[in-house]
Amino acid sequence: MESHHSVNKIPLFKCVLCGGLHEGYGNNPEPLAKFNDEEGNRNRACDNCNNDVIAERMLNIQKNISKKN
């Protein structure tokens, strides 16, 4: 993936979940999307979509704890 920057030299990335273009470095989108795509590029999630990522991670943790008990 080609590296893009905004006017202020802040990196730009396309959110793998919503498709929007955002400034910054983004967040790891797993478990909702793969961190690396087929070409080895890193997929990133925007801060807004990261709320859904964190919620899914918390659900997965809760499920794992329930299985152990």
Q: Enumerate the domain spans of the chain.
A: 4-68
Higher local confidence (pLDDT), 68 or 57: 57
pLDDT at 9: 87
Taking only the tens place, the pLDDT of each residue in 19-51 is: 999 999 999 999 999 999 999 999 999 999 999
Cα–chain center distance at 27: 4
The first and second tokens of residue 24, run together, are 């910054």
Alpha carbon distances (Å) from 33 to 5, 15, 45, 60:
23, 10, 9, 14
Q: What is the DSSP string of 28-46?
A: --TTTS-SB-TTSPBPBB-
Does this model's pTM top 0.85? My answer is: no
Residue 7 has pLDDT above 80, yes or no: no
β-pair type (4-5, 21-23): unpaired
Residue 6 has pLDDT above 70, yes or no: no
Check: CB of residue 13 under 8 Å from CB of residue 44: yes
Query: Above pLDDT 90, what percent of the chain?
Result: 77
